[in-house]
Structure 1
């Protein structure tokens, strides 16, 4: 009896044989992009310290140092994905890594918070070129049946970066100046480029979309205006201020214009037709809401550990290790739960766990046993892993293979937008709650000093340090005010994660879809000879 023929292989044999090595190179490229933010998480307190130790950045400047990266990243991701589809993903990957490395070197030697914000935006440009290309290459070197496993391992790379970043940042800050947390990116970039040239095949979409300059400008301008208004509201502790209302309103209006333009465009940056698929839309929303909650909470967790609990940057990195360890453990295995219980149950449970751990931050105080904090971080990482892997697979498999760059860009665009808005919104909630709680203790200070001291715990402690013995009485109230602000902010984050749980519970499928839809002829991305 003749055995049935094996299904035809889409990927060339030479590429198929080295697919796992290629995945390793892609993860190294992903690692450096994610590593940068996780390193920065433990460095924000040092950068907030007055010169010569840091740059004396205010909380709003720290938020912009993070968000200048994420907003440029988010605003350009989709165009970067299209650029990779058009000229080749390998070329875009290498170019993006070069830009990222140059921006890192410039950021390391910034002389002011404004320079740091500017060079972080350059790094965001490089990261935008790198991120969608890594997942697009992955889709084109793995057969469809291996894609979920490969994506799970790729997602686990995020956990590795989250683990390595804070510890690396802590070690560097213990021995070198704050700029070393950016300079360390340069040798990793050099290694990644060398391996990319050696191992990774080039691929492109035979029918690529067109770049949409107007859409890029509108999306970036709208997000910058919106985030500026939100951050300014937190800085002033007044969201009814005319500047806050006008910039926030302008940002929303520009984003609305962006949606209208994209719907009417023959070559939109984002094809709004993708969002007619409820599963696709729910998966995208889940990613945005997870990162909204997570990035905002991570921002204040560092100040809690370092400013309130008094731990060093290295100790902070070690204390955050369970968050990363859980992601590394569970992200590659999340598909096992999906196979057993379905996407709906797995992701809903993950978001419920995430909401519960965020709410747990509202119970922490200055002397909470460390094992409780460690347990919260571990469960948070586990919850996140059981959301990110399933929804990443749903998004990547919702579009045809040759649109892998577009699917990856959409996923990461909403991830970055969610993170940027999380830092802006939850950072503003933190600022407002802190100022309201501390202002009565600052009444004896001059008006200008009083306003600056009320912006963040670091600002209050800096003023207390300058006052010497007269300022010692501010330290206790500053810690109490920060804990109050952290509790309020954590509950906001938990509420956002709970909204995400409702969204996926309503719209995601209960089981992995059955036989895949027939794909259109000619959908396979064309592997082109390397032009190195």
Structure 2
């Protein structure tokens, strides 16, 4: 075993002694950031219900309520990490948690969908400072030989949050109003800030990178325009509408400008040269596609279980447990399967299984035995676990070790962007297909409520409820139209997953290329030392 050429500075004994307690505080901070999105998943149906129960949010409003958080989070992740390196990671963690807590309190008291979208963006701003700082502090307080174990526990916190989020949201919605899913963050933030001030040491990068404000602005503006155009097309049930199409084209143009600017910048947010590595590009694309499917499926599955099947938010949260359970079971063991069959086979198999389960949504009807959905969720989680773990390892190994921080931030960014596009694209397909299916059934309604009633299944059911017995045919039409729209949307998702299979099969390695990297005599000693 070679000795690293550069010795790591010794960690102060007092910090070293409390390192596991520090890890607990970091996980608590991470927990609320991840928990918030998974809690919101079971609340979107309630929020779409007309006042006073909900906010009467349209499907487009709901997509923006989720995506305003995700886009701000993804767009500022690199900048927040650099600010932490420059100004102090503990300081940025405290600022991020405070902003997240304030945004949560404001979101809980939102009086309209627009306010909810705005305050969710504030929460995303706070989360962007929390996520990179937790990992940076972890790397600072653990010795090199304990870092893999600590990172494994840190990553397990993400899986735990995904698992308990829907159930927590369901319990809150069964006993309190919809805003409780945001207000629950506030006491956790207060506890986390107190523990962090007490336990966590300050740290900085002695040579922090420069902040790329132009790149950040271009990436956020481009993504917002693209997502806005996609959601607008879904609301209008016409993606060729001039307003929707012009916005989509403008978004793509700004993102192309972002790529060109980053290639020429001497301090880019994203080093575009990384993507010349086909293995890196294929692995990061597969991660984005997994989150595209996960967020898109969760979005329409909640309406299926609650609006069509009549399950409560808590029951819906419990129904989603197999999805999280499969990931918790198989993600830590995926490396064993990779060792036997290779990265390409395992990731291709995971994406194929995911595509098959998405296509299986076409068999779901209003009276399908619910255990079939449970099996589908479990198999989806199994497929995802066998993509995310190997792909994450490949991403980290495809670049030099000194680029590990950038690789981690990039994979986080692509996950978030993949999820945002999944909600925007699949949500818009669902919206467009639903409106097309239910439109001819709305002709009996007054002209001024017809457009609103066709926005989503909840909007239609809300109008039907006001009509009393005369609204029964409208309820049947809403259920039938939603099921058809869900089937169309699921097939679109399956098609995207199959594209992922082709990319992975062409570009990912058959075996993890770890052994050849450490054999050469002239290998970098820092890279060789494990």
Q: Specify the alignment match of 2:53 in structure 1.
A: 53
Would the alpha carbon gap of residues 360 and 195 (structure 1) be closer, same or farther in structure 2, given more than 3 Å must change?
Answer: farther
- Distance (Å, rounded) in 2 between the aligned partners of 1:519 and 1:16: 29
Asked if 1:252 corresponds to 2:252, the answer is yes
Q: CA deviation at 1:523?
A: 13
Residue pair 1:47, 1:54 contacting (<8 A) in 2 also: yes
- Distance (Å, rounded) in 1 between the aligned partners of 2:404 and 2:201: 15
Asked if 1:480 corresponds to 2:483, the answer is no
Mean alpha-carbon deviation: is it higher for 415-424 or for 19-28?
Answer: 19-28
Asked if 1:514 corresponds to 2:520, the answer is no
Q: Specify the alignment match of 2:277 in structure 1.
A: 277
- Distance (Å, rounded) in 1 between the aligned partners of 2:350 and 2:437: 33
- Distance (Å, rounded) in 2 between the aligned partners of 1:388 and 1:82: 26
Q: Specify the alignment match of 1:228 in structure 2.
A: 228
Deviation per CA, 1:297-349, whole angstroms, max 9, x where unpaired? 11000000000000010111111111111122222222222333332222222
Deviation per CA, 1:10-56, whole angstroms, max 9, x where unpaired? 47464666555444333322221111011111101111111111111
1:66 counterpart SS class: helix
Would the alpha carbon gap of residues 212 and 6 (structure 1) be closer, same or farther in structure 2, given more than 3 Å must change?
Answer: closer
Q: Specify the alignment match of 2:329 in structure 1.
A: 329
- Distance (Å, rounded) in 2 between the aligned partners of 1:296 and 1:275: 26
Q: Specify the alignment match of 2:299 in structure 1.
A: 299
- Distance (Å, rounded) in 2 between the aligned partners of 1:30 and 1:199: 16
Would the alpha carbon gap of residues 195 and 329 (structure 1) be closer, same or farther in structure 2, given more than 3 Å must change?
Answer: farther
Residue correspondence of structure 1 range 23-38 to structure 2 within 5 A: 23-38=23-38
Mean alpha-carbon deviation: is it higher for 327-336 or for 482-491?
Answer: 327-336
Q: Specify the alignment match of 1:528 in structure 2.
A: none
Residue correspondence of structure 1 range 384-395 to structure 2 within 5 A: 384-395=384-395
* TM-score, normalization by structure 2: 0.92
Residue pair 1:152, 1:389 contacting (<8 A) in 2 also: no
* TM-score, normalization by structure 1: 0.92
Mean alpha-carbon deviation: is it higher for 27-36 or for 455-464?
Answer: 27-36
Residue pair 1:139, 1:401 contacting (<8 A) in 2 also: no
Aligned CA RMSD, in angstroms, stands at: 2.5
Would the alpha carbon gap of residues 217 and 114 (structure 1) be closer, same or farther in structure 2, given more than 3 Å must change?
Answer: same
Q: Specify the alignment match of 2:438 in structure 1.
A: 438
Would the alpha carbon gap of residues 446 and 469 (structure 1) be closer, same or farther in structure 2, given more than 3 Å must change?
Answer: same
1:205 counterpart SS class: coil
- Distance (Å, rounded) in 1 between the aligned partners of 2:103 and 2:94: 14
User: Structure 1 unaligned runs (5+)?
Assistant: 525-532
Residue pair 1:58, 1:459 contacting (<8 A) in 2 also: yes
Q: Specify the alignment match of 2:364 in structure 1.
A: 364
User: Structure 2 unaligned runs (5+)?
Assistant: none
Would the alpha carbon gap of residues 522 and 336 (structure 1) be closer, same or farther in structure 2, given more than 3 Å must change?
Answer: closer
Q: Specify the alignment match of 1:498 in structure 2.
A: 498
Would the alpha carbon gap of residues 193 and 343 (structure 1) be closer, same or farther in structure 2, given more than 3 Å must change?
Answer: farther
Residue pair 1:11, 1:142 contacting (<8 A) in 2 also: no
- Distance (Å, rounded) in 2 between the aligned partners of 1:522 and 1:141: 21
Q: Specify the alignment match of 1:130 in structure 2.
A: 130
Residue pair 2:350, 2:382 contacting (<8 A) in 1 also: yes
Q: Specify the alignment match of 1:111 in structure 2.
A: 111
Alignment size in residue pairs: 521
- Distance (Å, rounded) in 1 between the aligned partners of 2:292 and 2:368: 26
